[in-house]
Amino acid sequence: MENAPSKAVPPPRGQGGRTPGAVEAGGAAEKDPLIGGLVAGRYRIFDTLGEGGMAMVYLAEDVERDRPCAVKVLDPSAVHDDSLVERFLQEAVAASAIDHEHVIEVLDCGRSAEDHVYVVMEMLQGEDLADMLAREGRIPWSRARPMLLQICDALSVVHGKGIIHRDMKPENCFRIYRDGSEDFIKVLDFGIAKITGEQVEGARALTQTGMIFGTPEYMSPEQAMGRPADHRTDIYSLGVILFHLLTGDVPFRGATPMLTLVKHMVDEPPIPSIVAADAGITGALDDVILRCLQRDPEARYQSMDELAAALHRIDENGVIMSTPPWEQSAVETPWEQESEEFRDYRPYGVDEDFGDVEDMLPSRAPGMVALALVFMVIAGAVAYIVLAT
């Protein structure tokens, strides 16, 4: 799969020791023929940013709009395979259907007169979470929390469009600086996304039951078995990402990719707080991660919104909040500001269930109730005497 994100200039590490802008041919470095030229007569190619299994990503400029961009170009050996071409362009179809700040923006796609199959994306300056983990090992929950909530927010919108990502992993979560945060996340690479129903006009299914796509360390058991997968496969993968962020490693890793898939299918996930006993992972975080990693999709969180709600309930110290953020009132009503002894005097309509009439009487004012009854008896007696005379 083409995993390479568009990164800052100069190109990041991980280019396999190659000279930027060069490819290996016959044991010697050979300049990429696209460098310095135009793709589709509009996108000037300056340098390589990265490469995947079937595509190269380039630093480019849209000469019509005078703006930098990243251009992903399908490998020339694959342009005559209609299924590969359509799967490659499906990334653009899927991503362009989503207008969300935490999803990479796709600007253009197509097939040029020179037979270049390409996708044009916004240019991002930063790094993916895989690079961050390679450098830092792991991060605390206080830092991972906002990252995960951003990803949940993005995938909630993605799923709402009838799109399943199916390849969520640290490499496809890109952190940039924006709005005062160095951990603003963009979700990348919809190259193997599954488009369900008719939410995306003109799209059709390109995968079949029994075909396995994805990255073994982050694949759900149903994906590993080649079974039909719905949006809950992304919830599983996000659980693996959170496990990796907090512990510094993935829950399942076999000697071969196939053995890794088998572990997802048959092994119980390890408890994160035991894997990284010194990482400050609380029981609340263990519970969230392990629920994401349930083999049975029915036992996981059933939506990204449900997962996000569970993450919101856990504060920066990993402790479950007594009152979830969405239930905390920004401005207290007058009776909420009063001391406890006055709360029985709330106006009618504040509580949904008042119970019996006796329950509505102020429990802390028995003397007032008795005095009112005495007045009622006296008034009744007076009225009787008046009527009798």
Contact assessment for residue 279 and residue 247, using Cβ atoms and an 8 Å cutoff: yes
Is residue 346 packed enough to be buried (19+ CB in 10 Å), middle (13-18) or exposed (0-12)? middle
The closest alpha carbon to 290, from 280, 279, 301, belongs to: 301
Nearest to 45 by CA among 7, 77, 76, 71: 71
pLDDT, tens digit (0-9, with 9 covering 90-100), for 32-46: 899 999 999 999 999
Looking at the predicted structure, is the pLDDT value of residue 334 above 60?
A: no
Mean pLDDT, rounded, for 80-99: 82
Give residue 94's pLDDT: 74
22-122 falls under which CATH superfamily? Phosphorylase Kinase; domain 1 (3.30.200.20)
- Which region among 10-24, 241-255, 290-304 has the lowest average model confidence (pLDDT)? 10-24
User: What's the mean pLDDT when you consider all of the chain?
Assistant: 78
Q: Are 223 and 213 in contact (CB under 8 A)?
A: yes
pLDDT at 270 over 70: yes
pLDDT band at residue 376 under the 50/70/90 scheme: low
Report pLDDT digits (tens) over 94-127.
777 788 999 999 999 999 999 999 999 999 999 9
Neighbours of 294 (CB within 10 A): 19
Residue 217, classed as helix, strand or coil, is helix
pLDDT-wise least confident of 23-27, 34-38, 204-208, 220-224? 204-208
More confident site: 292 or 198:
292
Choose the weakest-confidence range: 127-131, 314-318, 383-387. 383-387
Distance CA 98, CA 142 (A): 28
**Residue 255: pLDDT over 90:** yes
Task: Please tell me what DSSP assigns to residue 165.
Answer: -
**Per-residue pLDDT for 161 more than 80?**
yes
Phi, psi for residue 231 in degrees, rounded to 5: -60, -20
Please compute the mean of the pLDDT values over residues 305-328 and round it to a whole number: 87
User: Is 167 a catalytic site residue?
Assistant: yes
Q: Are strands 106-111 and 55-62 parallel, antiparallel or unpaired?
A: unpaired
Q: Give yes or no for a contact between 247 and 276, defined as CB atoms under 8 angstroms apart.
A: yes
- Segment 178-199 shows an average pLDDT of 76
Please, which contacts does 109-115 make with residues 24 or more away whose CB atoms are closer than 8 Å? 110/40, 111/79, 111/85, 112/39, 112/40, 112/41, 113/40, 113/41, 114/39, 115/76, 115/79
**pLDDT at residue 367 above 70?**
no
Instruction: Considering only the C-alpha atoms of the chain, give the largest distance between any 2 of them, rounded to a whole number of Å.
Output: 126
Ordered by start, the domain boundaries in the chain are 22-122, 126-327, 340-370
Residue pointed to by tokens 């993935």: 250
CA distance 129 to 245: 9
Burial class of residue 305 in the structure, from the number of CB atoms within 10 Å of its CB (0-12 exposed, 13-18 middle, 19+ buried): middle
Distance (Å, whole) CA 237 – CA 250: 11
CATH class of segment(s) 126-327 = mainly alpha
Contact between residue 127 and residue 11 where contact means Cβ atoms under 8 Å apart: no
Q: Which contiguous run of DSSP H or E holds residue 56?
A: strand 55-62
Record the pTM.
Answer: 0.72
Query: What is the chain's Cα-based Rg?
Result: 30
The DSSP symbol for 18 reads: P
The rounded distance, in Å, linking the Cα atoms of 203 and 313 is 38
| Catalytic site residue from 128, 131, 167, 189 | 167
